[in-house]
Structure 1
Amino acid sequence: MSGLIIVSFVTAAYCLLAVRLSRTILTAPMLFLALGVGLSEAGLLSAQGIEDLLHPVAEVALVILLFLDAAQTDLNSLKRRHIWPQRMLLVGLPLAILFGTFAGWALVPEWSLLTAALAASILVPTDAALGQPVVTNPDVPLRPRRALIVESGLNDGLALPAILLLAALVAQDMSNSSTDWLLFGLKQVVLGPLAGALVGFAGGWALLRAKSLASTSDAYEGIGAVAMAGGAYLLAGIVGGNGFISAFVAGLCFGNVVKGQCRFVYEFTEGEGQILAWAAFLLIGAGLVPEALAHLTWPMLSLILASFFLVRPLAIWLSLAGTDASHLTRVFFGWFGPRGLATALFALLVLDTLPHEFEDHILHLAINTVWISAVLHGVTAAPAARWYGRMIARRGACPENQPEAGKPIENGT
């Protein structure tokens, strides 16, 4: 009980000081990860209670945030104007998996190529929550901020099919079984999107119809949106697909049907969505970080640092070749790819499908990556954002200060 009281007061204090703290090197993920570790080590949070809460909170957070992140993406606008996030998602993400695979294979010799590819895929998704001082800092021009937001909102959903297929292949390779695992993985990544598309399109159409008949209101629309996310997740499980991919696709379809006519999609992400994310970081810190830290080896640390300093920066640099992104912006994007909830939750997701000898390696790698990223990207976010903003401001009429394709930015977004 005393641990929960401390969590309550720390959360309240952070909210009261959030604006001032956003200008410092202390971020919410850093705070709640550290708080979870501290309470766990002090014995103020029950290990059994943490284990009971971690999986349901993590799954609920991931389902809802995947749905809402996707629902905020205007696919038509992304096709027409957002060349930077397009390149980072469609070119940079596969390159990061490829480079990360070879880095893992070289640095952790006992891993097979498939295991290294799975680890690389889990380390690919980025989390804007760990770099909020960047994506919310008005010193950083709108176009780079929007590119990072779009990339972080979509790359976890795009990486998930690769993670599931590779987990299935690793399990098959280790067990020398038939193609059962591969068929399972294919069903997950084919039937999941179909279930999600059905729920998203039907839900979006139903919402627009209800609004035209004035039979709903903003408060009820929000509850309905969360219910759609849960429905997409559960329906996919019934038909044999993956619920997380289903929730992501449902969000994409829902958002592009309603086209901004559901305010809850944006408001929840700023309020209740933050609470879910903070709770997940707290539980990860309390339940997983101490053990992961105890199993941090030099090869594992080398792979994590290679992911931060070599794999993503090189992949992003190459993906933006031929665009109007300056060298400075390409370096800035390459560094600000913090790893957060998706990395931890995807590792938990595939844990039961992996051979026993690799379960702990993958989980410890993911959790150590998250807390190291929280520290490195957290302490550099605010000062680097200010420095980048000053450097871009000195250049005046540069691409970073202009909307893409020379088009005006509508409604400031």
Structure 2
Amino acid sequence: MTLDPEIVLLGVLICIFAYSLLTKAIARSIITLPIIFMVVGYLAAGPIALMAEPELLDDGKRLLAEITLVLVLFSDASHVRIQKLRRSFGIPLRMLVIGLPLTIALGTVVAYGLNPSSGMAMALLTAAVLTPTDAALGQTVLSSDSVPENLQQTINVESGLNDGLVLPFVLLGGILASAGMQGANTDGLVVSALLQITFGPLVGICIGWTAAKAMGLAQRQDVMAEAAGGVAFVMVAFSAYLLSELVGGNGFIAAFTAGMVFGNTYKYPLHFISEFMEGIGQLLTMFAFLAFGALLLPDGFAHMTWNAVILAFLFLTVVRMLPIMVSLWGTHLHVSEKLFLGWFGPRGLASILFTLIMIDEFDFPGEDELLACVSMTVFMSIILHGMSAAPLAKWIGKTVPNE
């Protein structure tokens, strides 16, 4: 029996409406938004696959990936204050500056050790796409009164910045893996890579600074309506992305850089960005996890191996937690706090989006294995981090009282 596309879409809309009605009740349970929409997507995988040609579905999930990632990168970066980061954010800085590179390095070694036939470049790409964390999977931790504020801020800052910082590693892994294919054309590959990581930040700086100054002037002259801030935010984010792509830079790096420059240059409150991401941004997140359940997870399960399961488990535990423990060595944090921060490095939206984009952008060996590894890691993370968030929030509250 083939379901009409309208019935499938109606079912998805009903699920979104039901989730909206039960938001508070769900927040008090071990069920999370990613769990719900991953399951909905997986259950609807068959009908969704029949709704359009595979090429059209591939284009659709790539477009969804790009839109969501551009907005997430710009939004997260815009809320980071460089001066404040230097003064009081020593813990997340340690995790980003020391923990992130160590995670990629250890992850590369583990991925290569489990599957040496894929090569070091594929191991690097696998480690890079599985390094960024997603605070949405542990939203209970960020909103819980039991969790000390400094731990909440650390998790939020780290997850907000690491997806942008890991981009060059993802790009490098994709380029090297693609270049390693037999008969691959590597002419101009190095130049192209240098242009992407050079022009991307430059374009981001120019767009972010110019937009912030223009919007600041409009605010001072009282010619811009408050409701227009959300529209302007979207236009600035995508302008940085598109202009960077036009001149040969990396659009995602440009969006991330533009967000950071914009947030540190604009002298007025940025509540319009938060309000937009809480509404439209959450809707995009729902569809991203739904797309993961419908379009990525079935393929991932189809190519699943024990190596992928072992790698997923190691990336969620040893590969994540050991570098974090090393990066926090010598700090005032208690061992329980270090373990808490090490465990709450859930893999979600960024890993899904990076994988979609890399598979579509490059041709490299072992795409099915990469998809299986990422799918299993995100699947396990959605379940384990989602279900452990509430009880561990209570545990850390009792172990380290919130001051």
Q: TM-score, normalised by structure 2?
A: 0.94
1:118-267 aligned at under 5 Å gives the runs: 118-175=125-182, 177-178=185-186, 180-267=188-275
Question: Is residue 342 from structure 1 mapped to residue 350 from structure 2 by the alignment?
Answer: yes
Query: What's the % identity of the aligned pairs?
Result: 40
Compute the displacement of 1:289 (Å).
Answer: 0.9
Give CA deviations for 1:72-92 in whole Å, capped at 9, x if unaligned: 111110111101110010100
Give CA deviations for 1:316-356 in whole Å, capped at 9, x if unaligned: 00001111111111100111001111101111222245444
* Aligned residue type for 1:13: A
Compute the displacement of 1:218 (Å).
Answer: 1.6
Match of 1:20 among 1, 18, 25: 25
Compute the displacement of 1:220 (Å).
Answer: 0.8
Q: For 2:285 and 2:358, how far apart are their aligned partners in 1?
A: 20
Match of 1:398 in 2: none
Compute the displacement of 1:50 (Å).
Answer: 4.0
Match of 2:328 in 1: 320
Q: Is the 8 A contact 1:218 1:262 kept in 2?
A: no
Compute the displacement of 1:58 (Å).
Answer: 1.5
Compute the displacement of 1:170 (Å).
Answer: 2.0
Question: Is residue 11 from structure 1 mapped to residue 11 from structure 2 by the alignment?
Answer: no
Give CA deviations for 1:79-117 in whole Å, capped at 9, x if unaligned: 111011100101000000011011111111212122111
Which has the higher mean CA deviation after the structures are superposed, 353-362 or 256-265? 353-362
Match of 2:95 in 1: 88
Which has the higher mean CA deviation after the structures are superposed, 174-183 or 268-277? 174-183
Alpha-carbon spacing, 1:347–1:281, altered in 2? closer, same or farther (3 Å): same
Alpha-carbon spacing, 1:259–1:330, altered in 2? closer, same or farther (3 Å): farther
Aligned residue-pair number: 395
| Structure 1 residues without counterparts, runs of 5 or longer | 394-400, 403-413
Which has the higher mean CA deviation after the structures are superposed, 249-258 or 110-119? 110-119
Q: Is the 8 A contact 1:67 1:250 kept in 2?
A: yes
Match of 1:104 in 2: 111
Q: Is the 8 A contact 1:3 1:44 kept in 2?
A: no
* Aligned residue type for 1:170: A
Match of 1:378 in 2: 386
* Aligned residue type for 1:204: A
Match of 1:408 in 2: none
Q: For 1:262 and 1:217, how far apart are their aligned partners in 2?
A: 14
Q: Is the 8 A contact 1:233 1:246 kept in 2?
A: yes
Question: Is residue 32 from structure 1 mapped to residue 37 from structure 2 by the alignment?
Answer: yes
Q: For 2:251 and 2:212, how far apart are their aligned partners in 1?
A: 19
Q: For 1:340 and 1:284, how far apart are their aligned partners in 2?
A: 10
Match of 2:372 among 364, 378, 388: 364
* Aligned residue type for 2:29: T
Compute the displacement of 1:261 (Å).
Answer: 2.2
Give CA deviations for 1:11-65 in whole Å, capped at 9, x if unaligned: 1111111111112111001100110010113568625364342111121111111
Compute the displacement of 1:296 (Å).
Answer: 1.1
Match of 1:280 in 2: 288
Q: TM-score, normalised by structure 1?
A: 0.92
Q: Is the 8 A contact 1:63 1:229 kept in 2?
A: yes
Q: Is the 8 A contact 1:74 1:259 kept in 2?
A: no
Match of 2:72 in 1: 65
Give CA deviations for 1:165-214 in whole Å, capped at 9, x if unaligned: 22112222334654522222221111111111110000011111100000
Alpha-carbon spacing, 1:133–1:47, altered in 2? closer, same or farther (3 Å): farther
* Aligned residue type for 1:32: F
Alpha-carbon spacing, 1:221–1:354, altered in 2? closer, same or farther (3 Å): closer
Question: Is residue 270 from structure 1 mapped to residue 281 from structure 2 by the alignment?
Answer: no
Give the 3-state SS of the residue equivalent to 2:44 in structure 1. Answer: helix
Please, what is the CA RMSD of the aligned residues?
1.6
Q: Is the 8 A contact 1:316 1:330 kept in 2?
A: yes
Alpha-carbon spacing, 1:201–1:136, altered in 2? closer, same or farther (3 Å): same
Q: For 1:259 and 1:87, how far apart are their aligned partners in 2?
A: 28
